[in-house]
Structure 1
Amino acid sequence: MSRWASRALEEILRRVRETEDQCAGRWPLYADADSARWTTTGRGSWTGGFWAGLLWLRAIVSGDPHDQAVARGRTEALAPWVEADTATRGMIFWYGTALADAEDLRERAALACLAAHEPELGLVPWGSAFGGPPLLTRVDALPGLVRLLPASVAGRHLALQLDLTISSSGHPAWIAVPGRGWSPHPEPERGWSRTAAWLALAVADHAHMTAAGRTLLPRLRGWSGFAARFTEGAPSVPAASALRRQGPLDTSASAIEAVAALKLAALTGDGRLRDRAVEVLRVLVTDHVRHGRLLDGCYDLAHGVATRHELVWGDFFLALALAMLIGVIDPFAC
């Protein structure tokens, strides 16, 4: 099993070097399936931590001091995001620092996330950095955030999101309505490909950190949306939207799910979850990876942005899952 996984990881890390050269100091977001050219951003956006994390994975595998220096430089360049009003600071700073020697930066980010916590709502709201209503909770705000916040604060936020999503048959985003509780927000829509992936990843990480977090595992595993994605025989790659009869796939969701399944298997000893992760990874590597590029990812279906592309977080989570599978890193190292 490890041979095909090792080869695939080597290919992805070779692609990292190509991306580094092509981006010339900018940050990759998504790349065209045919040309392999990256669309980039100057500051990293909410995906910057995934690129830094990929560079750290390369440095761990290679042991090359140059690779370590490059990764360290990218992690340090994330620092301005500490001041940004966004719950995605969890993603940026957990995945950008977890494999790095960057405790000071991670601590600053953790304090900023805690300062943004709204006790009356019981969460760190989505924030204003990327537009839209700031008093919003979304499943994609959870990963990373649950690793940076104090366990009790993270647990309350996670439990709220889990309850809202499960009780609504999978709606991933909710807006606070003064005096009336929570109302579904239209973006992302119900049926979004990454809903179960992000939730499962966050629950796994929180359950690893605290015994209280393990009480959320039965709630997650009893949800039909979890069963639809994490059981043997389920489609290995989901549609970008389960509500649309025709449309693109989203391999990035599968890559996140593989990481979550490996973490949950490590926590619970459930070999079926590990088998599911291997099943998904084999399909991704065989059918969707070309020259180290995980294709068929969907950046933003609602706005028609990069719907069949290589995505920086897709590459990251695929590389992370493969590294976990072959024992390069511990399942909870990142």
Structure 2
Amino acid sequence: MTAGAWAEEALGLLFQRVTETLGQVGVCFPLYADPADGHWMTTGRGSWTGGFWAGLLWLRARHTGSDTDHAAAAAATARLAPWVDADTATRGLILWYGTALAAGDETARALRERAAKAALAARDPALGLVPWGSALGGPRLRARADGVPGLVPLLASAGPEGQAAAAAHLHRHLDLCLPSGEGAQRPCPAWRLDEVDGWVAERDPAPGWSRGEAWLLLAVADALLRLDRSSRDSGRLSRAAELLLDHCEFLTGPLVPQAEAGHPDGFLDTSAGAIAAVALLKLARASGPAWTSACAARAEAVLHRLVDVHLTRQGSARPAGMLLDGCYDARSGTAVRHELVWGDFFLALGLSALLGRVDLRQV
């Protein structure tokens, strides 16, 4: 089967699953689904994952061209509005990915503009970043890898001041998270600001968290894709990408990584693989000849593995179109072999990009 054929078939299954999911969850937001029967755990407000559900609905609407599907996507996006004023850096995940694919929808555009201004107002110039925030619990003055993707393009959409804040936010997180010593160290994904000791690495999530590594690669790749090649940031970001590709083995390690390196249960995380595949596709479009072919080939290989091994098909007791073996949280044992809404989103986005249906500069 050609690349186009298997990707097309898989995308159809994913959107079939989106339609079924919408019928199950109604006005709630899906979070993760039981691998045995496909029943979704939902949230009323969407938590940090709500934008991925809206993004999936926008991808489906693009695929089908249906006015009904467009209306469903617009309705889900409108329900994200309370997150504009929430004190959390994850509003980048929520309000960038929930609106970026809504081409021509004025309500989504207005929501994104409000979110960008709110995120810009939340930055701490002295720290050089938008703090992790208190909306999801824990200390407010933290910096985490999952507070970077989405928030950087969201900030950058707020004009010159927003672009400066976006660059500072990204580079501050890279300074904290990326290893600075010799040897194959893994990025440290989470930090807390201590009044005495300054930035202190947190124990959870710890180095080796594959989704955190994929989030960092996505943020760097996205910034490189949007930058002019002559930008003074281009060289610094290219070096960050090279370090991540090397230390996290994105081009040479398993196609589907463990959720946490060294975890005794060895849970996989297909959602980390899907995020990494989109990041690699962005790098392939942004980088020079040394990276292009390797990143493109690896991204297609990851997507094919996810589809071939981990995507459910027709003819079983489970619904078709479920991307299984996602791991929400290995340490707590929460949803460790499940379908995750953001895994579905990034798989659908990667397949859509592979088929030429989506310009990755848009999202």
For the aligned pair, the TM-score class normalised by the smaller chain equals: over 0.9
Distance (whole Å) between structure 1 residues aligned to residue 70 and residue 152 of structure 2: 26
Post-superposition CA distance 1:264-323 (Å, at most 9, x none) = 100115111000000101110001110211100001112211111000000000000000
Distance (whole Å) between structure 1 residues aligned to residue 244 and residue 146 of structure 2: 19
Following TM superposition, by how much is the alpha carbon of 1:175 offset from its aligned partner in structure 2, in angstroms? 0.8
Following TM superposition, by how much is the alpha carbon of 1:185 offset from its aligned partner in structure 2, in angstroms? 1.1
Q: Which runs of 5+ in 1 are unaligned?
A: none
Given candidates 208, 211, 214, the residue that maps to 2:234 is 214
Q: Which runs of 5+ in 2 are unaligned?
A: 156-161, 313-319
Q: TM-score, length-normalised on structure 2?
A: 0.89
Are the aligned partners of 1:27 and 1:43 in contact in 2 as well (CA < 8 Å)?
yes
Instruction: State the aligned residue count.
Output: 333
Query: Partner residue of 1:91?
Result: 93
In the TM superposition, 1:76-115 aligns within 5 A as 76-100=78-102, 101=105, 102-115=108-121
Query: Partner residue of 2:308?
Result: 286
Post-superposition CA distance 1:118-137 (Å, at most 9, x none) = 11111001100110111000
Query: Partner residue of 1:4?
Result: 6
Distance (whole Å) between structure 2 residues aligned to residue 111 and residue 61 of structure 1: 31
The answer on 1:195 being equivalent to 2:212 is yes
Query: Partner residue of 2:198?
Result: 181
Query: Partner residue of 1:228?
Result: 248
Query: Partner residue of 1:320?
Result: 349
**Cα distance change, pair 226–31 in 1 and its aligned pair in 2 (3 A):** farther
Given candidates 163, 168, 189, the residue that maps to 2:175 is 163
Post-superposition CA distance 1:139-179 (Å, at most 9, x none) = 00111100011222111121121122222631100111225
Range moving further from structure 2, 52-61 or 99-108:
99-108
Are the aligned partners of 1:207 and 1:216 in contact in 2 as well (CA < 8 Å)?
no
Post-superposition CA distance 1:11-45 (Å, at most 9, x none) = 00000000000102111000000111000011111
Distance (whole Å) between structure 2 residues aligned to residue 161 and residue 176 of structure 1: 13
What is the identity, as a one-letter code, of the residue corresponding to 1:264? L
Given candidates 238, 261, 265, the residue that maps to 1:242 is 261
Following TM superposition, by how much is the alpha carbon of 1:215 offset from its aligned partner in structure 2, in angstroms? 2.6
Distance (whole Å) between structure 2 residues aligned to residue 163 and residue 39 of structure 1: 36
Give percent identity, aligned residues only. 53
Query: Partner residue of 1:268?
Result: 287
Query: Partner residue of 1:32?
Result: 34
Q: Secondary structure at the match of 1:302?
A: coil
Distance (whole Å) between structure 2 residues aligned to residue 226 and residue 245 of structure 1: 24
Following TM superposition, by how much is the alpha carbon of 1:237 offset from its aligned partner in structure 2, in angstroms? 0.7
Are the aligned partners of 2:220 and 2:241 in contact in 1 as well (CA < 8 Å)?
no
Following TM superposition, by how much is the alpha carbon of 1:224 offset from its aligned partner in structure 2, in angstroms? 5.5
Q: TM-score, length-normalised on structure 1?
A: 0.96
The answer on 1:148 being equivalent to 2:154 is yes
Distance (whole Å) between structure 2 residues aligned to residue 180 and residue 227 of structure 1: 27
Are the aligned partners of 2:217 and 2:244 in contact in 1 as well (CA < 8 Å)?
no
Distance (whole Å) between structure 1 residues aligned to residue 175 and residue 144 of structure 2: 12
Given candidates 51, 66, 69, the residue that maps to 1:67 is 69
The answer on 1:302 being equivalent to 2:310 is no
Are the aligned partners of 2:226 and 2:361 in contact in 1 as well (CA < 8 Å)?
no
